[in-house]
Amino acid sequence: MIERIARMSDVSNERYDLTQGRIFDRLIAVALPIIGTQLVLMSYNLVDMFLLGRVGSEAVAAAGMAGMYMWLSNGVLLIGRMGAEIGVAQNLGGHDEEAARKFSSNSIFLAVSTGMAFAVACRAFSSSLIGFFNIKEAHVARSAVNYLSIVSLGMPLTFVSAAAAGTFNGSGNSRVPFLINSAGLVLNAALDPIFIFSLGLGVEGAAVATVIAQAAGCSMSLLALKKKKDRPFERYIFFMKPELRYITRILRWSVPIAIESMLFTFFTLVVSRIVAGFGAGAIAVYRVGTYIESLCWLTCIGVSTAVTAFVGQNYGARKWERIGGCCRISLAASCSWGAFVMVLFLTAGGHLFRFFLPDPVLIDEGRSFMRIIAICQVFGCLEAVSSGVFRGFGRTLPPSVVSVVCNALRIPISYALSMSSLGINGIWLGVTITASLRGAWVFVWFLLDIVSRLRGSGRKSASDG
């Protein structure tokens, strides 16, 4: 009986072992649930935007402004998630399960700590944070403050859920986080109409529904780590004593990514303030347009996460040929997707926009947004794959440097173009120019650094053989 259980465990582990099997099949098996998870997470906000759009464009603008700080929290959230993904992937690939488990538990400790700190800051300074946008309509600003104060309660929960998801992703089992987040989305979609319309809470009701769904998702994530049949570790202890050497390594990996993400959001906040000078309608266009664009870049994030897990495990196992195959396949697949989305935005951007904001004037502005932003979609795919490979090696600094520099340039370029005859379209063009530069730059760095590293390691392995 014991031998049978052991064989079943081995089969389950092999199912998520990325160091063996066909590269394309393994990548797809990991990438699709992660892409689904990213789309589900995006859908949390899309559901809110869709329903609040029926309340009015001002409700969308209020949730959009507060949502910028939720986006900012995603940078801090990455400390726990990326620490778990990289640490678990590399050490499971190297067959060191104990180290992988410690990277996971220390990542969850960091997730709890950073999530609580960020939540307290958002709640304490909500008025000042929303005041940054200098929005003209006082009642819109007031709704945004209320929304931010409520959703901040769920931030520690999302941080812990992300670290748990990073553990599953790093082990090659991305299916569990997808199922958990899907269940949370269903709950959120069911609660939103009740709190927004039936109870008459409007923007604040959307925030309450989101927090309840986040609490449910966090509970399911922790239960899955402890009880799920195909969990990464047979034995898991949540409250292990934090170990400095693991925390130090996690911070070395994840802090550059966190800083990159937070600065990206900060620069976006500055750009949003420039947009706010054109009125609440312009903010609504920017917010909804960004969510629609997520059709491409959240998919790329899913591919990038799968690439990180695949490269991490094979780097731990020193299987260089598999890493090279992963690079070629993921680049071809993601760039094909980017080209498809580019054509979609160019030809049907207005129709996509109409679904969220039925105002004819805003639809015309949204159509212009989608056509301009379409230009950078393939570059975003190049960036996503290249960054995923860097992170799988544990080299998180190069893509972060590129991102920070290019995103900093976005502010003066967008402002200057908005002061020209282009008006608000100049802002969209500034976003596209800097996103294209970012993708091209990190891809060239990837070619010069990682590709040469793989060739050298391949030659060394051949000579050793």
Domain boundaries in the chain? 23-460
What mean pLDDT comes out for the span 188-198? Answer: 91
Higher per-residue confidence, 107 vs 451: 107
> Does the pLDDT at position 276 exceed 90?
no
Structure tokens at 217: 């998702």
Q: Is 279 left (phi over 0), alpha (psi -120 to 50) or beta?
A: left
Q: How confident is the model at residue 167 (pLDDT cuts 50, 70, 90)?
A: very high
Write down the pLDDT at residue 456.
65
> Does the pLDDT at position 378 exceed 80?
yes
> Does the pLDDT at position 457 exceed 70?
no
Write down the pLDDT at residue 463.
45
In this structure, of 61-65, 149-153, 203-207, the range with the lowest mean pLDDT score is: 61-65
Phi, psi of 239 (to 5 degrees): -105, 50
Whole-number Cα distances in Å, 147 to 59, 68, 151, 210, 425? 10, 12, 6, 10, 29
Q: SS3 of 438, please?
A: helix
**First-to-last CA distance in the chain?**
40
Exposed, middle or buried, 85 (CB in 10 Å: 0-12/13-18/19+)? buried
**For residues 146 and 62, what is the distance between their CA atoms, to the nearest angstrom?**
9
Which one, of 4, 461, 17, 443, lies nearest residue 232 by Cα?
17
Residue 17 neighbours by CB under 8 Å, 6+ apart: 172, 313
> Does the pLDDT at position 2 exceed 70?
no
> Does the pLDDT at position 7 exceed 50?
no
Write down the pLDDT at residue 273.
82
In this structure, of 132-136, 373-377, 416-420, the range with the lowest mean pLDDT score is: 132-136
Structure tokens at 320: 């260089």
Structure tokens at 155: 């931030």
Among 46-55, 69-78, 279-288, 430-439, name the most confident range: 430-439
Exposed, middle or buried, 32 (CB in 10 Å: 0-12/13-18/19+)? middle
Q: What angle do CA 368, 47, 371 make, to 5 degrees?
A: 15
Residue 443 neighbours by CB under 8 Å, 6+ apart: 382, 383, 386
Exposed, middle or buried, 440 (CB in 10 Å: 0-12/13-18/19+)? middle
Write down the pLDDT at residue 11.
38
In this structure, of 113-127, 224-238, 243-257, the range with the lowest mean pLDDT score is: 224-238
Write down the pLDDT at residue 4.
39
Phi, psi of 171 (to 5 degrees): -80, -5
What mean pLDDT comes out for the span 296-304? Answer: 81
Q: Distance from CA of residue 395 to its chain's centroid? A: 18
Tally helices (H) and strands (E) across the chain. 16, 0
* Mean pLDDT over the full length of the chain: 86
Q: Do the beta carbons of residue 72 and residue 132 sit within 8 Å? A: no
The C-alpha torsion from 197 through 158 and 388 to 386, rounded to 10°, is 50
Write down the pLDDT at residue 458.
55
* High-pLDDT (> 70) share of the chain, %: 93
> Does the pLDDT at position 211 exceed 70?
yes
**For residues 338 and 309, what is the distance between their CA atoms, to the nearest angstrom?**
22
